[in-house]
Structure 1
Amino acid sequence: MSEETETAQGPVVRDRRRIDPQTGQPREQAPAQPAPAAGGDAPAQPAAPSVGGPDDGAADAELEAAQALAAERLEELQRLNAEYVNYRKRVDRDRDVARAAALSSVAEALLPVLDDVHLARQHGDLTGPFAAIADKLEATLGRFGLERYGENGEPFDPAVHEALMHSHSDEYEVATCVQVLQPGYRFGERVLRPARVAVADPQG
């Protein structure tokens, strides 16, 4: 059916078949035209996105602000971590000092007992079960750091010796402990009691 001309007497019939009935060839389709907007205006075209507009500057400012905040929080975290590490070291050091002070106080209170044990052993009076008990006591205190010192013939050191007697002798070139009257005790680096000794000074 051919396309008829529109008249005022009847409806207009348009042939929209894709295949031409006379030639059998497909017809070319005209591109669809968008319907005009109300008022006869052409349809508005979408605006192309702008590049480098004010939105990019705002995004850069926000990124810089976020980076600055992250750097500030990292610095605060590092400072808190350093303070915590120093606190742990200080607590550990204080705990060790308190422990050493407590042990040295106990050992210092037992010095008279240790003196009696030492004298009894020197005179051969420490025998039987009491000898075993004394050995255990000294071994236990030794494991905690208590040390007895003072020997005949060692150089006199006023930092660890207390001279109760003085004499002169040609046998020694320096002041020497010739007799230990009472042994000394130290706990680690701390001297609980200096060794009380008789000292021989060189002649002249």
Structure 2
Amino acid sequence: MSENDNNYPKDDSGEEANNLSSPAGEPGQSADSSADATEDPLAQVEDILNNAEVPAEESVAQGSDQADAAELKNDLLRLQAEYVNYRKRVERDRAVAGESAVVGVLNSLLPVLDDVDAARAHGDLTEGPFAAIAVKLETALQTYGLERIEETGVPFDPTVHEALIQQPSADVQVDSVSQVLRAGYRKGDRVLRAAQVIVAVPE
């Protein structure tokens, strides 16, 4: 019998023992591990907790989305209100600027109107082309709200009248305008120039 025969026994019982011990061990171990994984209580609890956390995360996400939407809506409303206020402020500033421009033009033309009044008082504007031009000028300025302050016999008002002379009179009970020396002008409630007048005072 050789050394190779001693190292590798060929008896049937030995081969069957080796064949049975090796394959049987692997399937048996795999079955035990899978059973342990399936029947492990800790793994089952973790699965339950993991499954229970999904709806909670969805609820939190939905609540966060709703909060973001509400915040965006509030921002939009705030921007809209700011825009409306800005537009009103711009329109108000534009109106004030336009009014100031008109008042500036009217003030610059008051000396021209004084010359027209002087020429009319001297009889230079009774007829002819210059008389027609003077009338057109006065009419055009009236369309921009220019009004003359030249009433006589009315109570003296220091806001629209400038008293140059005072004359005692038995015909008045209160200080009154007896004569207008230079006409005043106003635009609406704004006095552009006070009228220079002679005031009659009670005796």
Is this a same-fold pair by TM over 0.5?
yes
Within a 5 Å distance, the mapping from 1:12-161 to structure 2 comes to 53-126=52-125, 127-161=127-161
Of Structure 1 and Structure 2, which has the larger fraction of its residues in helix?
Answer: 2
Secondary structure class of the residue paired with 1:61: helix
Secondary structure class of the residue paired with 2:152: coil
Deviation track 1:21-47 (CA, whole Å, cap 9, x = no partner) reads xxxxxxxxxxxxxxxxxx9xxxxxxxx
Runs of 4+ in 1 over 3 A off after TM superposition: none
| Distance (Å, rounded) in 1 between the aligned partners of 2:174 and 2:188 | 27
Q: Percent identity?
A: 54
Q: More relative contact order in 1 or in 2 (CA 8 Å, sep 6+)?
A: 2
| Distance (Å, rounded) in 2 between the aligned partners of 1:67 and 1:174 | 75
Tell me the residue number matched to 1:184: 184
Give the C-alpha shift of residue 121 in structure 1.
2.5
Give the C-alpha shift of residue 100 in structure 1.
1.2
Deviation track 1:68-87 (CA, whole Å, cap 9, x = no partner) reads 11111111111111111111
AA matched with 1:111: L
AA matched with 1:188: G
Tell me the residue number matched to 1:30: none
Secondary structure class of the residue paired with 1:156: coil
Secondary structure class of the residue paired with 1:152: coil
Secondary structure class of the residue paired with 2:185: strand
Give the C-alpha shift of residue 142 in structure 1.
1.0
Structure 1: 5+ residue runs without aligned partners?
A: 1-38, 40-49
AA matched with 2:87: R
AA matched with 1:77: L
Give the C-alpha shift of residue 133 in structure 1.
0.9
Secondary structure class of the residue paired with 2:148: strand
Q: TM-score, normalised by structure 2?
A: 0.71
Secondary structure class of the residue paired with 1:201: strand
Give the C-alpha shift of residue 149 in structure 1.
1.5
Tell me the residue number matched to 1:19: none
| Distance (Å, rounded) in 2 between the aligned partners of 1:66 and 1:173 | 80
| Distance (Å, rounded) in 2 between the aligned partners of 1:155 and 1:109 | 29
| Distance (Å, rounded) in 2 between the aligned partners of 1:195 and 1:161 | 5
Secondary structure class of the residue paired with 2:196: strand
AA matched with 1:159: T
Aligned-pair RMSD on alpha carbons?
1.9
Secondary structure class of the residue paired with 2:151: coil
| Distance (Å, rounded) in 2 between the aligned partners of 1:149 and 1:171 | 23
How many residue pairs match? The answer is 155
| Distance (Å, rounded) in 1 between the aligned partners of 2:202 and 2:77 | 63
Give the C-alpha shift of residue 138 in structure 1.
0.9
Secondary structure class of the residue paired with 2:168: strand
Tell me the residue number matched to 2:42: none
| Distance (Å, rounded) in 2 between the aligned partners of 1:160 and 1:182 | 12
Give the C-alpha shift of residue 66 in structure 1.
1.0
| Distance (Å, rounded) in 2 between the aligned partners of 1:124 and 1:68 | 82
